Amino acid sequence: MKRWPLIVDPAPSAGAWNMAADEFLFSSLSDNPQTTVRFYRWARPTASLGYSQDLDRVADAAYCRANGIDTVRRITGGKLVLHHREVTYAVCSSDTEAFTETLTDSYRLISRGLMQGLARLGILASLAGPPPPEYVRGTLPCFSHPGLDEVEWEGKKIIGSAQKREGRKFLQHGSIPLERDEPLLRAVSLQDRASGGLRMGSLSEAAGRPVDFDSAVKELAAGLGEFFGVELAPRSFSPEEEAVIRRIELGRYADPGWTLRREPGPAVAFCFFG
């Protein structure tokens, strides 16, 4: 049985650190098949932008500044996500035996693995079909509609994900709300000034009881292990790895020039979901 490292961050972290840690795991992948799974939280409500998004078109930056909401730009594609009261997962892999070599297959397989974890929580979820054109082409936030092969429950998106791929190597990470906070999402995302509504679900709503971070991570990790037939072996970042992550954080994600740039460059190696 294969063993995949499982990193569960012990405490919530700033958005810049979280994105730097995911980039570190992605950049650490070798050509030898390897996979790491990570679960983490956010120290403050944080709006994350897809790699090619223009902040001014998708978020109310003034509202965020006035209300202590951080903003950060991901290296993955996709739409605006408000990270708040959630479990965030990341899967980094270069194992084509487990995930195949195609973008769509790896995305679908991870969704199915997460669905197995949801089933352990008593939540019967399903894969979503194609979203409407106005969602694909528009500036609505991630949780306004399920995307193709994303995880939904009773027609509501319950997991929103995005992926970056370079050859056989990929990073996929995503937001799994523990509780819904639609008023805050609407305020951050300019939703009141955009067409369409929100189709957002949460683990607590779907389970019919409060679900906290620790219990959700326990079952999601177990579901991934069962689905892929692997053992998830807990580990943590070493002091040396944390030093590298800190350098990535300061050099990219804590730099307003990265987060606020108005004309992002082409995203040739990036996959856009969510």
The model's pLDDT over 10-33, given as tens digits with 9 standing for 90+, comes to 999 999 999 999 999 999 999 899
3 state SS of 272:
coil
User: Rounded to an integer, what distance in angstroms lies between the CA atom of residue 230 and that of residue 144?
Assistant: 34
The percent of residues in the chain predicted with pLDDT above 70, rounded, is: 91
> Which residue of the set 64, 92, 142, 271 is catalytic?
142
Half-sphere exposure of 15 (CA within 13 A, CB side): 24
**What pLDDT was estimated at residue 274?**
46
Beta bridge partners, 42, equal 13
Instruction: Judge whether residue 136 has pLDDT over 70.
Output: no
Residue 205 makes CB contacts below 8 A (sequence gap 6+) with 179, 180
Q: Which phi and psi (to 5°) does residue 5 adopt?
A: -60, 140
The model's pLDDT over 69-124, given as tens digits with 9 standing for 90+, comes to 999 999 999 899 999 999 999 999 999 999 998 888 999 999 999 999 999 999 99
User: Rounded to an integer, what distance in angstroms lies between the CA atom of residue 166 and that of residue 169?
Assistant: 5
Tell me which fold the domain 2-271 belongs to.
BirA Bifunctional Protein; domain 2 (3.30.930)
Please check whether residue 127 is in contact with residue 108, taking contact to mean a CB–CB distance below 8 angstroms: yes
Please check whether residue 64 is in contact with residue 90, taking contact to mean a CB–CB distance below 8 angstroms: no
Instruction: Judge whether residue 194 has pLDDT over 60.
Output: no
CA nearest to 270, candidates 162, 145, 173, 147: 162
92 an active-site residue? no
Q: How many residues does the chain have?
A: 274
User: Is beta strand 46-49 parallel, antiparallel or unpaired with respect to 169-177?
Assistant: unpaired
Amino acid at 107: Y
> What Å distances lie between residue 238 and 242, 243, 251, CA to CA?
6, 9, 20
Q: Which phi and psi (to 5°) does residue 165 adopt?
A: -135, 140
Lowest mean pLDDT among 163-177, 178-192, 225-239: 178-192
Instruction: Judge whether residue 269 has pLDDT over 70.
Output: no
**What is the pLDDT averaged over residues 152-170?**
94
Beta bridge partners, 46, equal 70, 83
3 state SS of 161:
strand
Please check whether residue 126 is in contact with residue 144, taking contact to mean a CB–CB distance below 8 angstroms: no
Domain regions of the chain by residue span = 2-271
- Does this model's pTM top 0.75? yes
